[in-house]
Structure 1
Amino acid sequence: MTYLAHTAQAQLTALWTASVGWMLTAVALGLIQWRVWLVEDSAVVSSGVAWVGIWRACFNSHTEVTPGFQVMHCTYIDPREAFTPPEIVAGQVLMLLSVLVGLGGNASGVYSMRNVYFGVEKGSVWFIATGALCLLAAVMSLVPLLWNLTSVVTNQTIDFPSDFKLPSAPTSQHVGCGISFGLVGAALMAVSGVVFCKYKAPKKTNGRTQNSVAPVSRSMSAGVLTVLKGKDNPAFESHQHL
């Protein structure tokens, strides 16, 4: 069995990094805090804060329950509706695809490291495939993340229907943790992809892989045993015959 584990130490670290990046991307997909809207305090949005994600728009309200109790009112954002901004539609599609592609990249990374630690010489094909999938997942998530980030910075509005109970324009808005988590996850996936793509399989010389642990030859073993055996001591043998 060829020893190859030492050739992929950086890729082992990249696998953990890709796993963390994929989990952050998945968390960002489900968070509603992509855009944090500050609206005028009213009878409906009692807290004055609303959260707009890529799937739902939510706010806390005291009006629909017993006074003193708080309930979160959320409405689903349908990508087929005319009011839905294109950056939110892109987020729904590309972020979901990014999670699926990132899952495939992590699975491919596990298989690549399995081959290395079991001494299976498959070259760098699986490492390149892992890197390509991680990079693709990072690009897929970066497009909607940066697009929504730009919309927040430029204070873009959304013409919500009446059932959302939200104004079309906030007093001000800022970036939520959903975009922040997604950007960190995309960066980790991109770094992992580059590290995986840079893996180089050891070259073979005379049918043997370089930097591999070669088996000890029989002649060398015989020589070592001869040295360890030593010579008989005549004085010790004559002492035994006394």
Structure 2
Amino acid sequence: MILLINSAHCQVAGFAVATVGWILSTICMGFAEWRVWYMNNTSLLPSGLARVGMWKICIYYHADNFYRATSCYHYTYCDTFLPLDIRIAQNLLLIASILGLLGKASITFALRNVYMGILRKNATCNAFVASGILNIAAGVCISVAVTWNYHSVMNEEEIAFPPYFYVPFKPDAQEIGNAIIVACLAAFLMLLSGLCFLSYKFPLDSHVCPEILEI
């Protein structure tokens, strides 16, 4: 049993890393700063910026040398104006959150077996492998969403927001937002924890030897 516990120290650290990564992956979904649109002053709209997220857009207008928040609009699946990249990224981030949660459940089961001394090699190793695969898949989903968003910003792709959003079809300039940093960190942590779980090796000499009482 001691050998089992000693061999799982890396996986305990991986559990902590996976937990932080999963929290960051769920947080970045709600950020409205995946893209930052800069809008110059026109006859119809004052100068300002828009923070475009995966689930909402927040608009800020320039006043008194700083940007003042005016309104935020949330998206739904019924909104047809959303481009394909945002729609897919929404689903990828949701899938990553679910996969990360399942991975945490699997690693919890595996570590429970280790620390309770339940010597079932197949059950324990399979749980570690399942958790590793789930976390790596979650990290890949986040990475794809980040990469596609970066590609859209670099190509200055437009979004046809409804007129009542008071946002132009295409901004004067745009850049990636701070949510990308959080998402990249989440993807890295999920991938790292997945590799850590897959590296678990069940000790070959972990069998229990009965004590022989001398008479």
Length-normalised TM-score, structure 2: 0.87
- Aligned counterpart, 2:91: 93
Q: Within 2, Cα distance between the matches of 1:144 and 1:106?
A: 22
Q: Within 2, Cα distance between the matches of 1:17 and 1:43?
A: 51
CA-CA distance at 1:78 after TM superposition? 3.5
- Aligned counterpart, 1:32: 32
Closer/same/farther in 2, CA of residues 35 and 21 from structure 1, 3 Å limit: same
Alignment of 1:195-234 (within 5 A): 195-203=196-204, 210=205, 217-219=212-214
CA-CA distance at 1:14 after TM superposition? 0.8
Residue identity matched to 2:155:
T
RMSD: 2.5
Q: Within 2, Cα distance between the matches of 1:161 and 1:218?
A: 83
Q: Secondary structure at the match of 1:82?
A: coil
Residue identity matched to 1:137:
A
CA-CA distance at 1:45 after TM superposition? 6.5
Alignment of 1:1-242 (within 5 A): 2-3=1-2, 4-41=4-41, 48-61=48-61, 70-123=68-121, 124-203=125-204, 210=205, 217-219=212-214
Deviations 1:151-191 (A, max 9, x none): 11222111222011101111211111112211110111011
Aligned residues: 209
Which stretch shifts more, 70-79 or 24-33? 70-79
| Unpaired segments ≥5 residues, structure 1 | 64-69, 204-209, 223-242
Q: Secondary structure at the match of 1:218?
A: coil
> Retained in 1: the 8 A contact 2:48–2:62?
no
Q: Secondary structure at the match of 2:200?
A: coil
> Retained in 2: the 8 A contact 1:45–1:61?
no
Which stretch shifts more, 25-34 or 36-45? 36-45
Q: Secondary structure at the match of 2:149?
A: helix
> Retained in 1: the 8 A contact 2:49–2:61?
no
Q: Within 2, Cα distance between the matches of 1:75 and 1:111?
A: 41
Q: Within 2, Cα distance between the matches of 1:192 and 1:183?
A: 14
Q: Within 1, Cα distance between the matches of 2:52 and 2:96?
A: 20
